[in-house]
Structure 1
Amino acid sequence: MTDTSRPSASVFACLGALMNRLDLYDLDVRIGRCGLHVSNPRADGCCEGAPEPADMITCRSRAEDGGRLWFFTSWGEPIAEAERVVDAAVIIAGRFAGARRLEARRAPGPRGRVR
């Protein structure tokens, strides 16, 4: 979250705002001490150990931006400045978009065709 072991109130406020915004995208979002756990239970994951796509979003200062708070992926990729909650939510939701469970993709469409 931040460079210290105890996250600040401002970090939790930013994560809370992002969690509320991500709720619009029908993703599962849980806030915890390490950040936001975001997953898409309606999509196939990569392997048996990860049955659905997921990521841990953190919020911490970014030295390259004067120490301002930013959201980051679990692999350390910057997403957006923490003040840009809508932008961050769109980027995160976009990474989960288009992925649906295999069964849903093979279900017949309204005219009987497989999607």
Structure 2
Amino acid sequence: MNALDLPERRLAALGTHLSARGYRIDFLGTRLKVSNVHDSECCAQRLSDTVTCRARQDDGGRWWYFTSWGEPIAPADRVTDAAVSIQGYLPLPKR
């Protein structure tokens, strides 16, 4: 795997995982827009976020997912952890 395509592959994996949970996913090159398509049914303050994947310098340069405001979400090899974190701040309505 080429280091240059790692962020895109990790974002694609996260996007697939979140899509299966009911989120709308839009790939924007090296960014992943995650949207709550059920916003009219939900009281969430945030309706979407644009997630990036980049090296985290304070973790030895390991790849991490980050929110659009620069907060680390989870290491990029922890897709389920990242999805759970995103679901925590961008909740879908209970089915």
What is residue 31 of structure 2 aligned with on the other side? 35
For the pair 1:67 / 2:61, whether they are aligned, the reply is: yes
TM-score computed with the length of structure 1 as normaliser: 0.69
Structure 2, unaligned stretches of length 5 or more?
A: none
Measure the CA separation in 1 of the matches of 2:66 and 2:33: 12
Alpha-carbon shift at residue 17 of structure 1 (Å): 0.5
What is residue 51 of structure 2 aligned with on the other side? 57
RMSD in angstroms over aligned alpha carbons?
2.1
Higher relative contact order (CA 8 A, sep 6+): 2
TM-score computed with the length of structure 2 as normaliser: 0.83
Alpha-carbon shift at residue 24 of structure 1 (Å): 2.0
**Where does structure 1 differ by over 6 angstroms across 4 or more consecutive aligned residues?**
none
Structure 1, unaligned stretches of length 5 or more?
A: 1-6, 47-51, 101-115
What is residue 22 of structure 2 aligned with on the other side? 26
Distance 1:34 1:12, change over 3 A: closer
> How many equivalent residue pairs?
89
Percent identity among equivalent residues? 40
